Amino acid sequence: MIQTTSEVTNENVNAIQTVAGDNYSFRDKREQRTSGTYMAFVFFVYGFLAIITLVTVLNIINSISMSVSAGMKQYGAMRAVGMDEGQITKMMAAEAITYSFWGCVVGCIVGLPLSKLFYDFLIAEQFPGAVWNLPISSLIVIFLFVVLAAMAATYTPAKRIRNISVTETINEL
């Protein structure tokens, strides 16, 4: 098993083959590239992560939207006693931010040690020089997705509350 640099010439390969002689099996695998396999693997992994992210964002939006929908009568009663749409929207946003914040905190408390454990088990054990680092850039991207999901989750119910009249909500009570 001889590995060469990418700058090896045909003359170098022929010289190695001549030195090896007939006693050894010689196969020139310079034309076989693993970049296609690597790119397919990377595409598969990041595609899977994108699907997980989409499901997570939709779950955040659905959970917050369901919570707001369940409290629609209470929001209507608050409007009836004098709260305006802006105050109710801020209250919904505060609820969404609270869910998002604590979800991120719990996710980091559980996820980061698991990430370290899996890294040590799957990678560091096989490659002793590998070192786990805190994934700060990934955490920032995740936090941005969660904030965007919370904003999206607040928008639709707030619009629904603005469009419904106070008397409709009171009649349902």
Q: Are residues 111 and 156 in the same domain?
A: yes
Q: Are residues 15 and 96 in the same domain?
A: no
Q: Are residues 25 and 83 in the same domain?
A: no
Q: Are residues 8 and 87 in the same domain?
A: no
Q: Are residues 28 and 39 in the same domain?
A: no
Q: Provide the pLDDT confidence category of residue 147 given band limits of 50, 70 and 90.
A: confident
Number of domains in the chain: 2
Q: Provide the pLDDT confidence category of residue 105 given band limits of 50, 70 and 90.
A: very high
The pLDDT tens digits of the residues spanning 64-89 come to 778 877 877 787 788 888 888 888 88
Q: Are residues 168 and 113 in the same domain?
A: yes
Q: Are residues 109 and 154 in the same domain?
A: yes
**Taking residues 52-68, what's their average pLDDT?**
83
Q: Are residues 27 and 40 in the same domain?
A: no
Q: Provide the pLDDT confidence category of residue 109 given band limits of 50, 70 and 90.
A: very high
Does this model's pTM top 0.85? My answer is no
165: three-class secondary structure by DSSP: coil
Contacts of residue 96, Cβ cutoff 8 Å, sequence gap at least 6? 64, 150, 151, 153, 154
Q: Are residues 19 and 58 in the same domain?
A: no
Neighbours of 163 (CB within 10 A): 9
Q: Are residues 58 and 110 in the same domain?
A: yes
Q: Are residues 76 and 138 in the same domain?
A: yes
Intra-chain end-to-end CA distance of the chain, in Å: 80
* Residue 110 in this model has a pLDDT that exceeds 90: yes
Q: Are residues 82 and 20 in the same domain?
A: no
Domain encompassing residue 27: 1-32
